[in-house]
């Protein structure tokens, strides 16, 4: 099989070896015992351990495994299933979750596509995150998928090598996304809707405003054309302090609020809130 991976040192194709990956220039990247491969070069790190730390990853995994975001995942999966239906060509498809975290959404996507109209297609799944702690957790979900530590600003894929890129609540690099997607490729971008996390936000802020519309369409307009928008909108009720704090740890609010406000949230033993998320599909221009 032709490799779609790119050496982060010299940009030549990376091919699979018995222990990991290697390029023609003999740059070698061995797989960790957990199964992932670190392709983040030391001099390109902005900190000693970039990305989410182990405590944040554990909070995210506990929360997501409770099923609270399953309806959101279902919307993402259905949207991607529709997007892929236009790409069916009889050959295998390559998908990437850029900013995959601990692998929840990619695992759910694989399970959904295995039961849908794409079930007969060979699909290669890849997950990338800058946090090695997140990627370690992701390998526990499904070691048959390819997991890598890498930055979205320097993705380890060859030009025009991927059919679909998924970005869920993650930072984006539009030029880099456009570089690695095929001419027929799809970008699926998941972001908060106007009422997302209302309930929690009303406790944090004296005056709560709706989330502003995502700026992704404007940012991407030179390289991508908007195709469709789906929305996942429902209410949920958290049942314990642990659940409330695990959700908080998944959000930017965890770092942005002061200690008195964090203590106010930590005192809650239940919380009702809105999930309101938009799933946008873009095509390359």
**57-98, pLDDT tens digit by residue?**
999 999 999 999 999 999 999 999 999 987 766 678 999 999
Q: What is the pLDDT of residues 222-254, one digit of tens each?
A: 999 999 999 999 999 999 999 999 999 999 999
Q: How does residue 43 score in pLDDT terms, banded at 50, 70 and 90?
A: low
Q: In what order do the strands lie in the sheet with 271-284?
A: 37-38, 146-149, 123-129, 93-98, 162-168, 181-192, 271-284, 224-238
pLDDT bucket at 46, cuts 50 / 70 / 90: low
In a domain, 19, yes or no: yes
Please check whether residues 138 and 216 belong to one and the same domain.
yes
154 and 173 belong to one structural domain? yes
Higher pLDDT residue, 43 or 91? 91
**CATH at residue 46:** 3.40.50.150
**pLDDT category, 119, cuts 50, 70, 90?**
confident
CA dist list (Å): 238 to 69, 221, 246, 258: 12, 38, 10, 22
In a domain, 101, yes or no: yes
One domain, residues 47 and 13 = no
Torsion of Cα atoms, 215 then 93 then 145 then 167, to 10°: 0
Q: What is the pLDDT of residue 20?
A: 95
pLDDT at residue 44, rounded to an integer: 67
Asked if 20 and 103 sit in the same domain, the reply is: no
Tens-digit pLDDT profile for residues 4-33: 999 999 999 999 999 999 999 999 999 999
Task: Determine how β-strand 28-30 pairs with β-strand 20-22.
Answer: antiparallel
Question: Which residue would you say has higher pLDDT here, 213 or 223?
Answer: 223
In a shared domain, residues 152 and 132: yes
Whole-number percent of the chain with pLDDT over 90:
84
Q: Three-state SS for 219?
A: helix
Residue 97 in any domain: the answer is: yes
CB 16 within 8 Å of CB 127: no
For residue 169, give the nearest of 236, 214, 219 by alpha carbon. Answer: 214
Q: Same structural domain for residues 152 and 111?
A: yes
Position 192 pLDDT exceeds 70: yes
Range of the domain at 24: 1-30
Q: Is residue 248 part of a domain?
A: no
Residue 86 has what pLDDT?
75
Handedness of CA 280, 149, 136, 15 (dihedral sign): positive
Same domain, 104 and 164: yes
| 77 and 96 housed in the same domain | yes
**Is 237 a member of any domain?**
no
pLDDT value, residue 121: 81
| Numbers of helices and strands, H then E, in the chain | 10, 12
Check: CB of residue 42 under 8 Å from CB of residue 54. no
* Residues 173, 92 within the same domain: yes
Q: Are residues 26 and 104 in the same domain?
A: no
Q: Domain count of the chain?
A: 2
pTM metric for this prediction: 0.94
- 69 and 103 belong to one structural domain: yes
| Inside any domain, residue 201 | no
| Residue 140 phi, psi (nearest 5) | -70, -25
| Alpha helices (runs of H) in the chain, residue ranges in sequence order | 54-64, 70-85, 104-115, 132-141, 174-180, 200-204, 216-220, 241-249, 253-256, 259-266
- Is residue 14 located within the same domain as residue 42? no
Going by pLDDT thresholds of 50, 70 and 90, the confidence category of residue 130 is very high
The per-residue pLDDT for 106 is 98
What confidence score (pLDDT) does residue 90 get? 60
């Amino acid at each position: 099989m032709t490799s779609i991976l790119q050496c982060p040192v010299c940009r030549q194709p990376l091919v699979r070896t018995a222990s990991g990956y290697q390029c023609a220039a003999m740059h070698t990247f061995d797989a960790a015992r957990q199964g992932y491969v670190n392709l983040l070069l030391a001099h390109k790190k902005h900190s000693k351990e970039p990305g989410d730390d182990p405590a944040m990853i554990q909070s995210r995994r506990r929360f997501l495994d409770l099923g609270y975001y399953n309806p959101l995942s279902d919307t993402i999966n259905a949207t991607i299933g529709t997007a892929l239906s236009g790409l069916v060509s009889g050959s295998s498809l390559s998908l990437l979750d850029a900013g995959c975290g601990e692998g929840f959404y990619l695992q759910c996507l694989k399970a959904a596509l295995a039961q849908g109209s794409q079930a007969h297609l060979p699909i290669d799944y890849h997950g990338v995150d800058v946090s090695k702690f997140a990627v370690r957790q992701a390998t526990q979900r499904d070691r048959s998928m390819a997991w890598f530590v890498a930055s979205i600003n320097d993705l380890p894929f060859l030009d025009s090598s991927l059919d679909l890129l998924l970005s869920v609540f993650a930072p984006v690099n539009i030029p880099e996304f456009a570089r690695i997607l095929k001419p027929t490729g799809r970008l699926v971008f998941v972001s908060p809707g106007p009422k997302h996390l209302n309930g929690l936000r009303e406790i944090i802020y004296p005056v709560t405003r709706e989330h502003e519309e995502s700026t992704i369409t404007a940012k991407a307009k030179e390289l991508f054309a908007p195709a469709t928008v789906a929305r996942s909108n429902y209410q949920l009720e958290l049942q314990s302090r642990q659940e409330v704090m695990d959700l908080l740890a998944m959000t930017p609010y965890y770092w942005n609020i002061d200690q008195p406000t964090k203590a106010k949230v930590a005192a809650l033993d239940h919380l009702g809130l809105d999930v309101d998320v938009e799933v946008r599909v873009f095509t390359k221009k």
